[in-house]
Structure 1
Amino acid sequence: MPRVNLTINEKLKLISDFDSGIPRLDLSKKYRVDRTTVCRIISKREELEMAISIKSPKLKRLNVFKDDFDEKILEFISKSLSQGIPVNNCLIRQYASNLADETRKDFKCSNGWWEKFQKRYDIKYGKLSGESNAVDMEIVKNYRIDVIPKLIATDKQLIFNCDETSFFYKCYPSNSYYKGSIKKHGLRFLKDRITILLSVNLLGNKLEPFFIGKSANPRCFSEQNGNNLLSKIEYASNSNAWMTKELFHRWLTKWHKNLEVERKQIILVMDNFSAHKLDQDDFPLIKFHFLPPNTTSHLQPLDGGIINCLKKRYLTRLFNWILSKITSNEDITTFMKDLKLNKAIIWLIEAWQSIPETMIRNCWTHCGYMNFDSQMDLVNEDDNFEETCARMNNLSPLIVPSSEQLNDMIDAFNETTIISGEHQ
């Protein structure tokens, strides 16, 4: 019988099969290992169950350490991350070397040790994003206990959240898969940017997005089938494409007039961005409710996944458009310049309209506003995006994004955002 090395996961599955009543001889045939190996695996049940919680399930060897050297290194990594301190290869190896001077005199912090340590404990390397680590969770907890119940006591269709996001509509990943023999030429970062103001209510209804660009009357708007796009969307402009008090006042004024016709009074939940701080007396039908400072990553539904979903759905449309250009053999620098603002806005409107109400409600629930019976996995909202990425990986050796690069792209959007009140 050829030698087979089972992973920890496979060993645990073997134990589970044994518990269900499968004889050892049948397990030996099923997993293609000797019967004595089956008995040895079963005898190490407790060690395997303990190992699965701290080690990668793909490992094949169960290493038992004589001291707590590795535990101290893992504790150092966890403590550093909890304090918001990024840890890289050099920092961890330096800490391990200093620790070895005290406990393991013969230890050498080699590249081989570090690679095995990563594999042993399933250590990943990636970009740290978001601001949740800077949030005082006690404030969040008190807000959810003391404020939210009073806030949602009113009609749920009258509770809205609004927020702005900066959007680089020509943004494209700089990383790519490539063969070693292919020359690698990247794309200069295109800084064409707009700001989008979004608003949703607690039941999942959406208002039309409000776009802010740099040009008062973009030429490309009149090119859309001979019709002026300005007459069909909410659009304003200033030199920086930023939200200002004047533009926010203009947007609220139009909304307030609609509320007068409908005879409704609403509550508007928003962050403490300076442009949001208008005179409440100008809008008697809109009650402003400002979130505590530095808590939007936990308490603002639009930051809880809705904006992220919008950008993912936009990227799906962008990548499908790029696919059509790749098959026409055009240079990427050329056809990315051909992407005009009118096309980007149309894609954004389509992406916004495609977001289901259940997804928006789940984001309110995620932020602690209320619970719904139907739950939804937000990660699976955009299967089309994954399919598009897979198709692009098969088509082009140029700048081809992987699905894992989506979060990096959205981080690029968010890191360059100067719009949010907590960033300004």
Structure 2
Amino acid sequence: MQENYDNVISLAEEIAISWPRITAFAESHRRRGLVPEMERSCEEAKRTMDRTTTAVEKENISKRASGVPVCRPATQFGMAESTIGSILKNKGAVGGADVARGVETLARQRTQTIEEVEKWLTIWINEKLLAGDHISENIICEKALQLHADLTQNTPGTSAESCIFKASRGWLDNFKRRSGIHSVVRHGKAADKENADRFVLEFKDYVKAEGFLPQQVFSCDETGLFWKRMPKRTYVRKEEELWPGHKPMKDRLSLLFCANASGDFKLKPLLVYHSVNPRVFKKNNVMRSKLHVMWRANSKAWVTRQFFIEWVHEVFGPSVKKYLRDKHLPMKCLLVVDNAPAHPPSLEGELVEEFSFISVKFLPPNTTSLIQPMDQQVISNFKKLYNRALFQRCFEVTSDTGLTLREFWKNHFSILHGLHLIDKAWRDVSQRTLKSAWKKLWPEAVPDRVPEDVEEDALIVEEIVSLGKSMGLEVSRDDVEELVEEHKTELTAEELRNVLMEQQQAAAEELFLQEEERRESVPTALIEDMCAKWADLQVFVEKYHPDKAAVSHATSTFNDHAMSHFRQILKRREEEQMSIVKWLARKRSSESEPGVSGVKKIKETQERSNPQ
């Protein structure tokens, strides 16, 4: 008994001696955010201690590289010097770590292959959601396994890793937390026709009971648009090679369209781009508030919940209110939307008092493709009209200036030109198209005399093909149809790799352009003045300096390495200004002759070039 008592006393004394060190250690971890509460158990504290964040490890390596003794970071971060030593031994792996979004620590089981899989998977999910596809957790796991298999098969030295990655439930939970996709994964299935038919009957009774007129009922939906893309198989006969491939991230944006069931009122679209203030906006002093779209931006070019609510308050509410007043209609309206992540279920509750006249009706899950009015040829018709306007602009510019298609595409077509074409295409969507789009959801609102727009769509496609052939492009009807539906196709592993590279390149280019703009913020007049003075100085030195060879070498060097930079700036600004002036002149000319189609212009051009 006495021996046990002595052991207890001895243990208590050891604890009392060690306690200050233990509390100091825990407090240092709490300050670093590794232990939120002092009451955390020893087991949890140990688990946190073992997982030092990559940022802390890199900071330790940086301090040591700058000559800081090991003891200082050990004291600062509350870490043992042996731990610091282990980090320094592994500095090659830590310094070169390129971790996926949300990953803060490097664990042994996380290989670089898994990092790449998660990056590609995030891009794939973004693309699927943009296309309006339903994504379940099982689908994500299957795609992750497929990407991992493709990566290990095509990357030397990684085949042994195939047995490590299982796409388990634990991995999925962590991936969802790191990537932030937990709120957009849907447990969906294929289009539900039975549910859609049931909703159509309910909708009929609802609008009848509430007394809504077709002018008061609106539908909106989002879509992706590749604003700078030709069909994949387009062949340039004059240049004897395929048209250059697209860049999935840089030429894609998101649009939200909205119109009423009577087809006489279209609202300003919401547009989401990957850049808040593109370079062409800055150079042309573009005011985003004056555009024909509501301009928003994020890195994925996605319509988010915040952007949608802003559009409802800043565009939909005020515009519909004015429309109802002008038409002397009762101050009430119905907005029909699907259950996309950007549409909050509590939308009516988030509206300000001024817009309390707006009612919201959500379509059932998995019915968008069946009864969503905007998905019934409206968006498809817009994209065909956009591509017709794009081909028309290609034809006009290359015919008037003698530019090749490649020169036009690279230097004479920007997002600013794309915005003008988007506005034109949306204005050209006919009232008949907007009316007939409601046949499946609300057939009572569509007059019997309103026909389908199949013939109109066919004529637009034929005009696109004709415009393409007039420019020496081999493009078919199937190519145009494929282009319109292309945002719904599945991206391959190679395409996902390219998209990831383009995302990284776009971020680097944005930083480079910002720095370049700071350097190029010199007024044009000042550059011209300095170039003139340099020319005068050069003439003076060449005339009076005795060593002609030295002068020639010095002036050539300065011209090549200094003045050429400013001359390029002047040349680029002059070309951009001329391009805008010519485009505005052609635009005024085309507006003064309404009703002249692209095909008619082609025939007139051919008649002028081949006189009898």
TM-score by length of 2: 0.42
Q: Which amino acid aligns with 2:349?
A: D
Name the CA distance, whole Å, in 2 between partners of 1:353 and 1:227: 21
Runs of at least 5 residues in structure 1 that lack an aligned partner in the other structure: 1-132, 418-424
Q: Output aligned runs, 1:20-419, within 5 Å.
A: 134-151=190-207, 153-176=211-234, 183-191=240-248, 192-204=251-263, 205-221=265-281, 228=287, 230-233=289-292, 234-254=294-314, 255-258=316-319, 262=325, 264-277=331-344, 278-283=346-351, 284-327=356-399, 330-338=403-411, 339-370=413-444, 371-382=446-457, 383-396=459-472, 399-415=473-489
Distance 1:172 1:266, change over 3 A: same
Q: Answer whether contact 1:390 1:402 (CA < 8 A) is retained.
A: no
Report the Cα offset of residue 252 of structure 1.
1.0
The answer as to whether partners of 1:259 and 1:265 remain within 8 angstroms in 2 is: no
Residue of structure 1 in register with 2:579 after alignment: none
Contact 2:391 2:467 in 1 (8 A): no
Kindly tell me: are residues 231 and 333 of structure 1, through their superposed partners in 2, closer, same or farther at Cα, counting changes over 3 Å? same
Q: 1:346 to 1:182 in 2, by over 3 A?
A: closer
CA–CA distance in structure 1, aligned partners of residues 469 and 414 of structure 2: 25
- Say which is worse superposed, 386-395 or 354-363, in terms of deviation: 386-395
Q: 1:388 to 1:137 in 2, by over 3 A?
A: closer
CA–CA distance in structure 1, aligned partners of residues 290 and 455 of structure 2 = 35
Q: Tell me how far apart the structure 2 counterparts of residues 213 and 171 of structure 1 sit (CA, whole Å).
A: 16
Shift of the 336–232 alpha-carbon distance from structure 1 to 2, 3 Å rule, reads: same
User: What amino acid is the match of 2:271?
Assistant: F
Tell me by how many angstroms 1:405 deviates: 1.6
Contact 1:304 1:367 in 2 (8 A): no
Taking the aligned partners of 1:260 and 1:207, their CA distance within structure 2 comes to 12
Aligned to 1:161, the other structure's residue is in SS state strand
Q: Any stretches of 5+ residues in structure 2 without a counterpart?
A: 1-188, 492-612
Q: Which amino acid aligns with 1:363?
A: A
Q: Is the 8 A contact 2:224 2:487 kept in 1?
A: yes
| Cα displacement string for residues 187-236 of structure 1 (whole angstroms, at most 9, x for unaligned residues) | 12133111111101110121111111122222323556x65354233211
- Contact 1:229–1:342 (CA under 8 A) maintained in structure 2: no
Whole-Å separation in 1 of the counterparts to 2:299 and 2:467: 39
1:183, distance to aligned residue in structure 2 (A): 4.4
Structure 2 vs 1, CA of residues 375 and 325 (structure 1 numbering), >3 Å: closer, same or farther?
same
Q: 1:369-421 CA deviation, whole Å, 9 max, x = no partner?
A: 4331322331222424412412422541xx5322222210012133479xxxx
* Cα distance in 2 between the residues matched to 1:391 and 1:245: 39
Label 1:331 to 1:260 Cα distance change in 2 as closer, same or farther (>3 A): closer
Alpha-carbon distance between aligned partners in 1 of 2:436 and 2:390, rounded to the nearest angstrom: 26
2:508 is matched with none
CA 1:387 to 1:279, structure 2 compared with 1: closer, same or farther past 3 Å? closer
> Helix, strand or coil for the counterpart of 2:300?
coil
Alpha-carbon separation, structure 1, partners of 2:200 and 2:382? 26
Match of 1:18 in 2: none
Query: Given that residues 166 and 414 in structure 1 are in contact (C-alpha distance below 8 angstroms), is that contact kept between their aligned partners in structure 2?
Result: no
Q: CA separation in 2, counterparts of 1:385 and 1:241?
A: 28
Distance verdict in 2 for CA 1:229–1:252, change over 3 Å? closer
Secondary structure of 1:235 counterpart: strand
**Structure 1 CA distance for aligned equivalents of residues 295 and 461 of structure 2:** 28
> Does the Cα contact within 8 Å between 1:196 and 1:209 map onto a contact in 2?
yes
CA offsets per residue over residues 145-171 of structure 1, 9 Å max, x none? Answer: 233342354122111101111111012
Q: Which amino acid aligns with 2:476?
A: S
State the shift of 1:285 in Å.
2.4
- Figure out how many residues of one structure are paired with residues of the other and give that number: 281
1:318-373 Cα offsets, whole Å, 9 max, x none, are: 11122235545544444223321111111111111111212110111244443313
Aligned-partner Cα distance in 1 for 2:441–2:409: 37
State the distance in 1 between where 2:418 and 2:205 align: 39
Q: 1:232 to 1:387 in 2, by over 3 A?
A: closer
In structure 2, relative to structure 1, the CA distance for the partners of 1:178 and 1:314 (3 Å cut) is closer
Instruction: Quote how far apart the aligned CAs of 1:279 are.
Output: 4.0
**Contact 1:269 1:291 (8 Å CA) reproduced:** yes
Amino acid at match of 1:387: E
* Conserved? CA contact 1:365–1:372, under 8 Å: no
**TM-score between both structures, scaled by the size of structure 1:** 0.60
Q: Residues 49-72 of structure 1, C-alpha deviation per residue, up to 9 Å, x if partnerless? A: xxxxxxxxxxxxxxxxxxxxxxxx
- SS of the residue corresponding to residue 174 of structure 1 reads coil
The residue that corresponds to 2:32 in the other structure is none
C-alpha distance 209-215 of structure 1, shift in aligned 2 (>3 A)? same
One-letter code of the match for 2:437? C
1:164 partner letter = E
Deviation of residue 177 (structure 1)? 6.1
